[in-house]
Chain A
Amino acid sequence: MTQIVVPAPGPIAQEDQQGAGLGQPLLDVRGLQVHFPARQGGIMEKRRVVKAVDGVTFHVQPGETLGLVGESGCGKTTTGRAVLQLVRPTAGQVLFEGRDLVTMQGEALRQMRRRMQIIFQDPYGSLNPRMTAGDIIAEPLVVHGMVKGRQQLKARVDELLETVGLSATMRRRYVHEFSGGQRQRIGVARALGLQPSLIVCDEPVSALDVSIQAQIINLLEHLQERHRIAYLFIAHDLAVVRHISERVAVMYLGKMMESADRLEIYERPLHPYTQALLSAVPIPDPELETTRERIILEGDVPSPLFPPPGCVFQTRCPKAVAQCKEAVPAWREAAPGHWVACHLV
């Protein structure tokens, strides 16, 4: 693999580094809400909203990986999109390099997109079938005027292809000529081209075979080391998250349940939901596996149209008490760096 030549940081980049340098998080999300209008029932009925994300707070430090886990439909993908303003938040703040993206519009926001990118879950749908791999990777470079002239563009595209483990000769091929893993590499190359400081990885490996998953994870880790990219790593696979993340945040029904350092959360989960989630991970040792204690949650995730009162998890929580039905638990720091939303902790 060839070395990526990182051009000298421009005035914007320098400014950003100074701003984000002294312990300030790269991404600081405060009270993020995304509500979708839901159409249902008769005209006379009161208009309801789906609270896909309801008051989520977290931060990502430069160069670190925050794993965001939760069941399907818990709002983790919407959170990732709202961070990038692909879905506009209903309320809350998204401070990226110290600037609030929620209030940004049009051109200012387009300029910010250079610094933050996304890798999608579906390597099939996220690449335009009418474009060649080279065109797809070149597009962000062209849009932001990152290269001058055709020669430089071609050289940069070839370099990116090789960085993600593809060959420069694949530039002319169409998307349907690639395998799933190769397509995901094209998606990574597209995101990488702008040299972002944050990449939202929206379940980047869950559509791939297990052996390919490992390759892509390794690639992502390798790129992070080399370019100091921060990842917001959205996944439902706890083993993958444990492997790649420095910190882990757990979501349930649009709300944050718990967040802490990786070791802390896997060794000492405080929230009953996290405990149940972690008890579902099989242990790769047959003897230990038989002694594993499983917490099986009753029932299904309630509809986000009709979230239960109090703690959203109270309907399925094995430890729920009367208080849980009445008051929404506060998001507080139970131990240094270990945040949790539960009355019982």
Chain B
Amino acid sequence: MAMQEAAPTLPFANDPWVVQAAQRVLTFARRNPTMALGLLVVGTMVIISIAAPLIERHAPDFVNPIDRLQSPNRSYWFGTDQVGRDIYARVVHGGRISLIVGFSVAGLTMAFGAAIGLISGYFRRADTFIMAAMDGLMAIPMILLAIALVAILGASTRNVIIALCVVHLPREVRLVRASVLSLREQQYVEAARAIGASPWRILGRHVFPGTLPVLIIQGSFTCSTAILSEATLSFLGAGASPEVASWGRMMAESTTYFQRAPWAIMFPGIALGLTVLSVSLIGDGLRDVLDPKLSRRT
């Protein structure tokens, strides 16, 4: 691929360590093409979001009514919206919200989901109460619950993250608990009890490592659904505060005139779709890599 051709022209290309690393990357990409593609796109998105102030051509919040509803052109690569803001700048900045929300929600639900799921699966007495609470949360439609929580907590990026964590937590807990229930019956867990290991040691050293594949895979899917949910919340007006550019809000604002200026809804939509798809591709790839039955042992 591109990397292979680019490598010889670089000054340090003959460094054996670099060659080896490049080869390893290529082997990985050949074995897991979808995952490599996902990683490439998400990596690019992360870089673009971080570098947004450097690569923008106009300030994302600069209102210029004279240039409103322009179709994509040399000055405005993705066109402008109904008040003349640069859609390219807003798409580039909007990625920040999506990625921050996606990664934080995934990280937090993984951490809390693992802790609660381990306790619920291993200590039978806690199980009844925890699972009742989780089932209760799951009974309420996801988006309604998230809107309600944001309404109570107030609109801000932090509160959107909290709300989405609450919404996604039960799924993570259920999956971890299910794998704990099967792992706790493993004979090596009984062996650990027989040598006198404490329950916490058993959980940490013998049960938790076994739940990691499930945890990581579910985490990647949580990430992509959280990005979508954040866009949905913004679209419905229950997202982060209105002055922050976000893909969901951009799409909501352009619905009224999308026949006149389809680019205003198209570009944030493409960015959103591409990001969610890539994160899902990574999740699929992780499932294949982490599944012991599919893994290639060399």
Residues of A within 8 A of B (CB): 84, 86, 110-111, 113-114, 117-118, 120, 122, 125-131, 139-140, 143-144, 187, 190, 194
Known: A128-B206, A130-B210, A143-B201. A113 touches B195 (CB 8 A): yes
- A174 CA to B37 CA, complexed, in Å: 33
- A328 CA to B75 CA, complexed, in Å: 98
Per-residue interface assignment for chain B, residues 188 to 205, with 1 indicating a CB less than 8 Å from any chain A CB and 0 otherwise: 101111111110010001
User: Are the CB atoms of B188 and A117 closer together than 8 Å?
Assistant: no
- A41 CA to B246 CA, complexed, in Å: 57
- A190 CA to B188 CA, complexed, in Å: 12
Point out the residue from A84, A110, A126, A140 that lies within 8 Å of B188, measured CB to CB.
Answer: A126
Chain A residues positioned under 8 Å from B14 (CB to CB) = none
User: Are the CB atoms of B198 and A84 closer together than 8 Å?
Assistant: no
A112 to chain B, nearest CB (A): 8
B194 to chain A, nearest CB (A): 5
- With CB as the reference atom, state the residue of chain B lying closest to A140: B195
Give the interface size class of chain B. 10 to 19
Q: A117-B194, A117-B195, A139-B197 are in contact. List 13 more A-B contacts (CB 8 A).
A: A84-B194, A86-B193, A110-B196, A113-B196, A120-B190, A125-B188, A126-B190, A127-B188, A129-B188, A140-B196, A143-B196, A143-B201, A190-B191
- The answer to whether B209 has its CB under 8 Å from any CB of chain A is yes
Point out the residue from B188, B190, B197, B210 that lies within 8 Å of A143, measured CB to CB.
Answer: B197
- With CB as the reference atom, state the residue of chain A lying closest to B195: A140
User: Are the CB atoms of B188 and A113 closer together than 8 Å?
Assistant: no
Contacts between chains A and B (CB distance < 8 A), count:
53
- The answer to whether B298 has its CB under 8 Å from any CB of chain A is no
Chain A residues positioned under 8 Å from B4 (CB to CB) = none
- A114 CA to B195 CA, complexed, in Å: 7
User: Are the CB atoms of B187 and A144 closer together than 8 Å?
Assistant: no
- With CB as the reference atom, state the residue of chain A lying closest to B190: A86
User: Are the CB atoms of A139 and B195 closer together than 8 Å?
Assistant: yes
- A86 CA to B185 CA, complexed, in Å: 12
What are 12 contact pairs spanning A and B, CB under 8 A? A86-B190, A110-B198, A113-B194, A125-B187, A126-B188, A128-B192, A128-B205, A130-B209, A139-B192, A139-B205, A140-B195, A143-B198
B174 to chain A, nearest CB (A): 23
- The answer to whether B64 has its CB under 8 Å from any CB of chain A is no
Chain A residues positioned under 8 Å from B195 (CB to CB) = 113, 117, 139-140, 143, 190, 194
- A118 CA to B193 CA, complexed, in Å: 10
- A221 CA to B35 CA, complexed, in Å: 54
User: Are the CB atoms of A125 and B186 closer together than 8 Å?
Assistant: yes
User: Are the CB atoms of B191 and A120 closer together than 8 Å?
Assistant: yes
